[in-house]
Structure 1
Amino acid sequence: MKQSVSDRIFIVTVYAVLGLTALLVLYPLFFVLIASVSSPQLVLSGDIWLWPRDITWRGYEKLFANEEIMRGYGNTILYTAAGTAVNVAMTVAGAFPLSRRDFIGRQWIAGMMVFTMFFSGGLIPTYLLIKQLGLLNTFWVMIVPGAVSVWNIILMRTFFQNGLPFELQEAAAIDGCTNLRILWRIVLPLSAPILAVMVLFYSVGHWNAYFQALIYLSDRDKYPLQLILREILVQGETKDMVDVSEGSLSGSVLDVESIKYAAVIVANLPVLLLYPFLQKYFVKGVMVGAIKG
């Protein structure tokens, strides 16, 4: 179809704006990457813009040589893997019954769950509850309090209702399938898009979580990576990674700068690697699960 001049101007404008937006979003990530392998002195002086110069891996060497960083990395991987598994299982367990037409009281139960999205007890009552449950300073304090998200249950329930014909479940029930077998053999295999979205949402949330650890954990051996990085980036606590005896104080400050940039790359790399594998499901899962009718 032939485009008018105004249409062409509009398309060019849209591409220009999107290109500028992409540049503004991607350049800081690119700068952190090249700064992490460039001479910290050149980075501090502002001589690094587009390409790395005087490439050095000192920041990564210092980072990976620190035991707390490696322990925090392992803790974060454990919290993310276990937490995501619990989250997805609980979300499916909550969304599937609420999506069934023959489940009596499902609207009332859904309403009670939505109520918790707008009103909560607050931080102090939550802390006292977790303390009474004996979860303080334990592995489970990073998993149990956030075991399920009401918003994600609603999203998955909507997908089950609108994305999967209920007649499939009725036909399976006529053939003698139990509800659990219907869920395992029919519903879940057809729900790859929404499951991928849930895995991405929950895993990114666990990977970036630090506030729960800051409030509920006191043992540094249980600290996740993000809490260690917070100390490095915000509080500047890099004394264990920087050996002042190797040179002057200015040299140690340069090491601190290299460590900061390297820490940002190390912390975000796993999430960046996870997204391409789930990208093909992401848009479909969100859009289908958001349709109401």
Structure 2
Amino acid sequence: MKIKESLASKIFDAFNYVIMILLMLVMVYPLIYIFSASISDNALVSSGDVLLLPKQVTLIAYKQLVTNPDLWISYWNTIRYTIVQMILTLLVTSAMAYPLAKKWLPGRKIILMMAAFTLLFSGGMIPTFLVVQKLGMLNSIWAIVLPSLISTWYLFIMRTFFEALPEELEDAATIDGCSSIQVLLRIVLPLSLPVMMTIGLFTAVNQWNAFFDALIYLNERSMYPLQIMLRNILVAGTTIQGEGDLSLLQTMKYAIIMIATLPILCVYPFIQKYFVQGTMIGGIKG
């Protein structure tokens, strides 16, 4: 039986379609423009003649970048920083969120209050730098990974997700002789794939785009991530090694943006379904 929609409902749906199309255009246009500018003639880009489609297509900006070893060194640094950060964040956050999801945990409310306190207040940049320095982590991967290893917001999302899991499954595993660690690894985590993928995506994107920590903690050029190279070209207006054709600087800016953005754009569609499930289930208990 077909339900007849009212005039107000049709108007509301049409309004939603218009808004969604406008939002899509607002988000897609910058990507198309950046790609077009990256493969267009530098003079046309600088003069503002490139508005949507590329003009006088050339790949010289990409050639200038991919033939430079600094690009691949910084790319590898960003990849390993992101992978290590994501894996350790998921392990440590789940290890902390699982016991906090149990009402029998002694001091549970106090720990939650202390964790929530960090949402409003932090030690600050200078004390954090001094801690990293005293621990001897400067110019190392751990200076990038450890200070931001646990996010309180992700901790609360994962804890809420764990609370919504059926306790009967854990009780059955305990009766079969599983320890708490085994229950977490064999029962809880496999059932928590949506929230794990969601937090993993957020963590990976944040680390992939991060550059401020690298500016503070890293002094060696060989340790710089990709975003430092991107910053040097966009903000400082320099080429990768202080060399190269400065007339290509404008198109190189757009080319390096495309190179830095492409991996995240390729990964997101494959985990989008987990992203939607994780954000919905992780925020609603039931």
Task: State the Cα distance separating 1:46 from its structure 2 match.
Answer: 2.5
Tell me what 1:172 maps to: 173
Report what 1:2 is aligned to.
4
* 2:260 is aligned with 1:258: no
1:27 and 1:166 map into 2 onto residues whose CA distance is 48
Q: Determine the structure 1 residue equivalent to 2:149.
A: 147
Does residue 273 (structure 1) correspond to residue 266 (structure 2)? The answer is: yes
Aligned equivalent of 2:18, options 16, 23, 46: 16
Distance (whole Å) between structure 1 residues aligned to residue 240 and residue 279 of structure 2: 45
The list of structure 1 runs, each at least 4 consecutive aligned residues, that deviate by more than 3 angstroms after superposition, is 239-244
The aligned counterpart of 2:195 is 194
- Alpha-carbon distance in structure 1 between the residues aligned to 2:266 and 2:242: 27
Residues in 2 aligned to 1:239 and 1:79: alpha-carbon distance in whole angstroms: 21
| Inter-partner Cα distance in structure 2 for 1:118 and 1:41 | 48
Partner of 2:125: 123
Q: What's 2:114 paired with?
A: 112
**Which residue identity lines up with residue 221 of structure 1 in the other structure?**
S
> Once the 2 structures are TM-superposed, how far is the Cα of residue 171 of structure 1 from its aligned partner?
1.7
Task: Judge conservation of contact 1:242–1:256 (CA < 8 Å) in 2.
Answer: no
The farther-off stretch of 17-26 and 47-56 is 47-56
Matched residue, 2:236? 235
**How many residues are paired up?**
284
Matched AA of 2:11: I
Letter in 2 for 1:195: M
Structure 1 residue 151: deviation in Å?
1.0
For 2:186 and 2:69, the matched residues in 1 are separated by 45
Matched to 2:109, the amino acid is Q
User: Match of 1:225?
Assistant: 226
Question: Which residue type is aligned with residue 148 of structure 1?
Answer: I
Task: Kindly state the Cα deviation for residue 179 of structure 1 after the two structures are TM-superposed.
Answer: 0.7
Shift in Å, 1:133: 1.0
Q: Deviations over 1:103-141 (max 9, x none)?
A: 222222111111112111211111111111111122210
Amino acid of the residue matched to residue 272 of structure 1? L
Residue 292 of structure 1 and its aligned partner are, at CA, apart by: 4.3
Q: Deviation digits for residues 56-107 of structure 1, max 9, x if unmatched? A: 1111001112222221111101111111111111111111111123322222
Residues 185 and 257 of structure 1, relative CA distance in 2, 3 Å threshold? same
1:241: how far off? 6.5
What letter matches 2:110 in structure 1? Answer: W
Q: Which region of structure 1 is more displaced relative to structure 2, 195-204 or 39-48? A: 39-48
Take 2:244 and 2:124, find their aligned partners in 1: how far apart are those partners?
A: 43
**CA distance in structure 1 between the aligned counterparts of 2:236 and 2:112, rounded to whole angstroms:** 43
Q: Could you say what the CA RMSD is over the residues aligned between the two structures, in angstroms?
A: 1.5
**Alignment partner of 1:30 out of 26, 29, 32:** 32
Cα distance in 2 for partners of 1:239, 1:133 equals: 31
Which structure 1 residue ranges, 5 or more long, are not aligned? 245-251
Q: CA deviation at 1:53?
A: 2.2
Superposition pairs of residues 26-175 of structure 1, within 5 angstroms: 26-162=28-164, 164-175=165-176
Whether 2:212 is the aligned partner of 1:211: answer yes
Distance 2:149 2:54 in 1: 43
How far apart, CA to CA, are the structure 1 residues paired with 2:279 and 2:8? 33
- Once residues 66 and 241 of structure 1 are traced to their aligned partners in structure 2, the CA distance between those partners, rounded to angstroms, is 12
| 1:134 to 1:239, Cα distance in 2 relative to 1, 3 A | closer
The secondary structure found in structure 2 opposite 1:290 is coil
Per-residue deviation, 1:44: 2.2
CA distance in 2, matches of 1:76, 1:229: 12
Query: Does the CA-based 8 Å contact 1:156-1:289 persist in structure 2?
Result: yes
Gaps of 5+ in 2: none
Q: Name the amino acid aligned to 1:50.
A: L
Counterparts of 1:182 and 1:239, CA distance in 2 = 50
Alignment TM-score, normalising by the size of structure 2: 0.95
Given that 1:63 and 1:263 are in contact with CA atoms closer than 8 Å, whether structure 2 keeps it comes out as: yes
Letter in 1 for 2:56: D
Give the aligned partner of residue 279 of structure 2.
286
Residues 155 and 290 in structure 1, CA contact (< 8 A), matched pair in contact too: yes
Relative to the length of structure 1, the TM-score reads 0.93
Counterpart for residue 184 of structure 1: 185
CA distance in 1, matches of 2:38, 2:233: 15
The Cα shift of 1:175 comes to 2.1
